[in-house]
């Protein structure tokens, strides 16, 4: 493996990093029980170093009943036994760092599990108790309090599902997500103190960054007014008091030189950029790129808006094509509608995987050439498609909450294929994986792709190895025909992506560095193909 290029102590590493998202449950199963675990990740660190990534973002590995894949946390200071132990997490963080790979953990501040000791104490203590003040408990409306306290919509498939659950003692409690995920009261000082302690707990263990789940939802209007009667300022989305919370978090992170990436779904670029002011979060996910259809004009607009919205606050952009919540890229790009929208997910959508894969290869070169940091979701580098999970095996609450209309998110969470010819494609040796793998999974296995010069994995490995040469300076658009995106980066590298039906002439260049597919016989770039060139 040689000396890792990122072993250097670079305080600005996050401004242009490639960050690999590990969904622990489905990455690699070290103990053979069918669930991915930290032992599995540790055994595959050489693979991740070989891929060349700078950091790993781990979705929650804490103690959890896994009602929402671990986004329902019982204890932030404990690792769930299904995944391993705290000592193992510490080893993993250190071993990764020795390979030049930093660790980012996922903190879920909006809510906890209904099994969290705070919530259990609140249930036991009864209406009006100080224990209930850590959450949002309210009496109901109507003569007998039988109606929920307000009209807020759920944030989770099935917007019509209730966000309030009534207890036998008459009180209702708020949960923007499932009933097993009660929302914390961020106006309470103990909630703020606890989360700063949790940050320190993980920074003390060598964690280099924190991903903040549902980062724009924490603060609530203390009166919890009806949304219909009180749309502005929004009673629970993007409230100004949140910035005080994140300024305080930033001071903690700065003590450790650690960084944040916020999950901030906001349509308004100006409101989005407020989270990235120099004394707040370092970065936030750019969902406009992830949801954008495969269309040159729309992509260019998304790129321009993203860069423009980040510039005033001096924050680097992030580029994400998929994650554990959305349809896998090769599948999305192989459909008639190539945009991503939670509301449009359905069973049985026709998909042309060859087309989607060709586009996803081009999109990989596009996103890895853009200025800022890039997130790669496990399996994206293998070109895994979205799997159709048999309905009796679906675990994601989105499926149930939508009354079966939404297939849920399990299709992008299927355990990875590592070795062709091994049981369960080498994910784990003994027990069947927690989600079934499609029959063709072995054909995507890592060992096969490593041998194949044309595989998606080989493309990612080459691209990530070349990428540091681009620097983190701006991009300059070059003149190009309709449907073609062409830009140059700081040290004279050009990226050209052809989304048009006709082959495109390449701009003047001295060398073809990398292509997502072959050029045609006339040396032109075919449709749905990207190339990196040296000017
Ligand atoms: C975020 C996570 C998602 C989770 C939700 C509730 O959107 O990415 O997986 O279900 O928050 O915590």
**Residue pLDDT, tens place only, 460-478:** 999 999 998 886 688 999 9
Measure the CA–CA gap between 137 and 423, rounded to whole angstroms: 49
Instruction: Decide whether any atom of ligand 1 lies within 6 Å of the 71 Cβ.
Output: yes
Would you say residue 271 has pLDDT above 90?
Answer: yes
Give pLDDT, residue 491.
84
Q: How far is CA 450 from CA 368, 456, 460, 462, in A?
A: 20, 9, 11, 12
Cα(262) to centroid(ligand 1), Å: 12
Residue whose Cα lies nearest atom 4 of ligand 1: it is: 71
Cα(71) to centroid(ligand 1), Å: 6
At 157, the pLDDT band (50, 70, 90 cuts) reads low
Residue whose Cα lies nearest atom 7 of ligand 1: it is: 214
Instruction: Decide whether any atom of ligand 1 lies within 6 Å of the 213 Cβ.
Output: yes
Residues marked active site are found at: 213, 255
At 159, the pLDDT band (50, 70, 90 cuts) reads low
Percent of the chain with pLDDT strictly greater than 90 = 92
Cα(181) to centroid(ligand 1), Å: 11
Give pLDDT, residue 103.
98
Would you say residue 425 has pLDDT above 50?
Answer: yes
Would you say residue 7 has pLDDT above 90?
Answer: no
User: What beta strand segments (E) does 191-347 contain?
Assistant: 209-212, 259-262, 283-284, 318-320
Cα(263) to centroid(ligand 1), Å: 9
Q: Ligand 1 pocket test: which of 64, 71, 320 has the largest number of ligand atoms within 8 Å of its C-beta?
A: 71
Torsion angle defined by CA atoms of residues 226, 274, 109 and 173, in that order, rounded to the nearest 10 degrees: 0
Mean residue pLDDT of the chain comes to 95
Do 327 and 445 belong together in one domain? yes
Cα(70) to centroid(ligand 1), Å: 9
231 CB burial (10 A radius; 0-12, 13-18, 19+): exposed
Would you say residue 1 has pLDDT above 60?
Answer: no
Do 345 and 450 belong together in one domain? yes
Mean pLDDT value of segment 118-123? 98
Q: How far is CA 41 from CA 92, 113, 264, in A?
A: 8, 25, 27
Cβ atoms of residues 348 and 517 within 8 Å: no
Domain membership flag for residue 486: yes
Give pLDDT, residue 475.
95
Which CATH number does the domain housing residue 338 bear? 3.20.20.80
Closest ligand 1 atom, CA of 111?
12
Give pLDDT, residue 218.
98
Q: Ligand 1 pocket test: which of 76, 178, 214, 322 has the largest number of ligand atoms within 8 Å of its C-beta?
A: 214
Helix (H, G, I), strand (E, B) or coil at 216: coil
Structure tokens at 208: 């280099």
Beta strand pairing call for 511-515 and 529-534: antiparallel
Measure the CA–CA gap between 201 and 71, rounded to whole angstroms: 18
Closest ligand 1 atom, CA of 323?
8
Q: Ligand 1 pocket test: which of 61, 65, 68, 264 has the largest number of ligand atoms within 8 Å of its C-beta?
A: 68
* Angle between the N-to-C axes of helices 456-466 and 353-369, in degrees from 0 to 180, rounded to the nearest 10: 10
Domain membership flag for residue 219: no
Domain membership flag for residue 340: yes
Strand order in the sheet with 172-174: 137-138, 172-174, 164-166
- Residue with the larger pLDDT of the pair 36 and 3: 36
Residue whose Cα lies nearest atom 3 of ligand 1: it is: 325
Instruction: Decide whether any atom of ligand 1 lies within 6 Å of the 325 Cβ.
Output: yes
Which residues lie closer than 8 Å to 66 by C-beta, 6 or more apart? 25, 72, 80, 82
Cβ atoms of residues 442 and 421 within 8 Å: yes
Instruction: Decide whether any atom of ligand 1 lies within 6 Å of the 410 Cβ.
Output: no
Which CATH number does the domain housing residue 137 bear? 3.90.400.10
Torsion angle defined by CA atoms of residues 487, 490, 494 and 495, in that order, rounded to the nearest 10 degrees: -60
Do 20 and 73 belong together in one domain? yes
Do 49 and 77 belong together in one domain? yes
pTM surpassing 0.95? yes
Cis ω on the peptide bond leading into residue 233 (within 30° of 0)? yes
Cα(214) to centroid(ligand 1), Å: 7
Closest ligand 1 atom, CA of 324?
9
Percent of the chain with pLDDT strictly greater than 70 = 98
Do 93 and 148 belong together in one domain? no
Task: Give tens-digit pLDDT for 337-368.
Answer: 999 999 999 999 999 999 999 999 999 999 99
Cα(68) to centroid(ligand 1), Å: 8
Do 354 and 446 belong together in one domain? yes
User: Which of 465, 495, 514 corresponds to the end of one domain?
Assistant: 465
Domain membership flag for residue 132: yes
Cβ atoms of residues 37 and 83 within 8 Å: yes
Which CATH number does the domain housing residue 516 bear? 2.60.40.1180
Domain membership flag for residue 387: yes
User: Which of 131, 155, 174 corresponds to the end of one domain?
Assistant: 174
Task: Give tens-digit pLDDT for 52-79.
Answer: 999 999 999 999 999 999 999 999 999 9
Structure tokens at 290: 């992830």
Do 432 and 377 belong together in one domain? yes
| Of 69, 99, 62, 110, residue with least CA distance to 84 | 62
Token pair 């946390």 is at which residue?
73
- Residue with the larger pLDDT of the pair 4 and 49: 49
Domain membership flag for residue 496: yes
User: Which of 174, 191, 206 corresponds to the end of one domain?
Assistant: 174
Instruction: Decide whether any atom of ligand 1 lies within 6 Å of the 287 Cβ.
Output: no
Which residues lie closer than 8 Å to 271 by C-beta, 6 or more apart? 238
Token pair 């991915």 is at which residue?
36
At 158, the pLDDT band (50, 70, 90 cuts) reads low
At 3, the pLDDT band (50, 70, 90 cuts) reads very low
User: Domain range spanning residue 521?
Assistant: 474-534
Do 511 and 451 belong together in one domain? no
Do 87 and 150 belong together in one domain? no
At 141, the pLDDT band (50, 70, 90 cuts) reads very high
Q: H helices within 205-233, ranges in order?
A: none
Task: Give tens-digit pLDDT for 449-463.
Answer: 999 999 999 999 999
Structure tokens at 368: 């890895």
At 419, the pLDDT band (50, 70, 90 cuts) reads very high
Do 30 and 160 belong together in one domain? no
Cα(266) to centroid(ligand 1), Å: 15
Q: H helices within 52-186, ranges in order?
A: 86-98, 117-125
Closest ligand 1 atom, CA of 71?
12
Instruction: Decide whether any atom of ligand 1 lies within 6 Å of the 108 Cβ.
Output: yes
Do 18 and 103 belong together in one domain? yes
Closest ligand 1 atom, CA of 68?
10
Total domain count, the chain: 3
Cβ atoms of residues 299 and 260 within 8 Å: no
Domain membership flag for residue 228: no
Give pLDDT, residue 308.
95
Domain membership flag for residue 58: yes
Do 421 and 522 belong together in one domain? no
* Angle between the N-to-C axes of helices 189-204 and 241-256, in degrees from 0 to 180, rounded to the nearest 10: 30
């Amino acid at each position: 493996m040689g000396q890792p290029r990122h072993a250097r102590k670079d305080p600005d590493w996050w401004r242009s990093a490639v960050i690999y998202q590990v969904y622990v449950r489905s990455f690699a199963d070290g103990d053979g029980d069918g669930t991915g675990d930290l032992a599995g990740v540790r055994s595959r660190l050489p693979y991740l170093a070989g891929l060349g990534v700078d950091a790993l973002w781990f979705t929650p590995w804490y103690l959890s009943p896994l009602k929402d894949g671990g986004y329902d946390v019982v204890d932030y200071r404990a690792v769930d036994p299904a995944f391993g132990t705290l000592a193992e997490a510490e080893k993993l963080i250190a071993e990764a760092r020795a390979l030049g790979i930093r660790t980012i953990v996922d903190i879920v501040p909006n809510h906890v599990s209904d099994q969290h000791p705070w919530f259990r104490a609140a249930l036991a203590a009864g209406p009006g108790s100080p224990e209930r003040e850590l959450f949002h408990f309210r009496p109901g409306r109507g003569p007998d309090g039988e109606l929920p306290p307000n009209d807020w919509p759920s944030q989770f498939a099935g917007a019509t599902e209730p966000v309030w659950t009534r207890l036998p003692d008459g009180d209702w409690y708020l949960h923007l997500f499932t009933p097993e995920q009660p929302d914390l009261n961020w106006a309470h000082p103990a909630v703020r103190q606890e989360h700063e302690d949790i940050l320190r707990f993980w920074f003390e263990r060598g964690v280099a960054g924190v991903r903040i789940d549902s980062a724009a939802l924490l603060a609530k209007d203390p009166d919890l007014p009806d949304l219909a009667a009180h749309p502005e300022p929004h009673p629970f989305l993007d409230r100004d008091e949140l910035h005080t919370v994140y300024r305080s978090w930033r001071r903690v992170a700065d003590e450790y030189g650690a960084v944040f990436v916020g999950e901030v779904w906001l349509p308004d670029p100006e409101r989005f950029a407020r989270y990235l002011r120099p004394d707040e979060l370092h970065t936030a996910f750019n969902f406009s790129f992830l949801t954008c259809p495969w269309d040159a004009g729309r992509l260019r607009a998304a790129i321009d808006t993203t860069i423009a919205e980040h510039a005033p606050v001096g924050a680097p952009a992030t580029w994400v094509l998929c994650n554990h919540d959305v349809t896998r890229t090769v599948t999305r790009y192989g459909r008639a509608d190539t945009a991503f929208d939670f509301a449009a997910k359905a069973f049985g959508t026709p998909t042309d995987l060859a087309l989607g894969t060709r586009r996803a290869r081009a999109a990989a070169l596009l996103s890895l050439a853009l200025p800022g940091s890039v997130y790669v979701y496990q399996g994206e580098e293998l070109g895994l498609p979205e799997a159709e999970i048999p309905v009796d095996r679906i675990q994601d609450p989105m499926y149930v909450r939508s009354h079966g209309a939404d297939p849920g998110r399990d299709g992008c969470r299927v355990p990875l294929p590592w070795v062709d010819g091994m049981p369960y494609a080498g994910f784990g040796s003994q027990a069947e994986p927690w989600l079934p793998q499609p029959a063709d999974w072995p054909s995507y296995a890592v060992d096969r792709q490593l041998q194949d010069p044309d595989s998606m994995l080989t493309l990612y490995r080459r691209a990530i190895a070349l990428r540091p040469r681009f620097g983190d300076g701006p991009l300059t658009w070059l003149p190009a025909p309709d449907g073609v995106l062409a830009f140059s980066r700081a040290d004279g590298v050009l990226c050209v992506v052809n989304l048009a039906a006709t082959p495109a002439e390449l701009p003047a260049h001295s060398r073809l560095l990398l292509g997502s597919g072959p050029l045609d016989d006339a040396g032109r770039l075919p449709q749905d193909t990207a190339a990196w060139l040296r000017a």
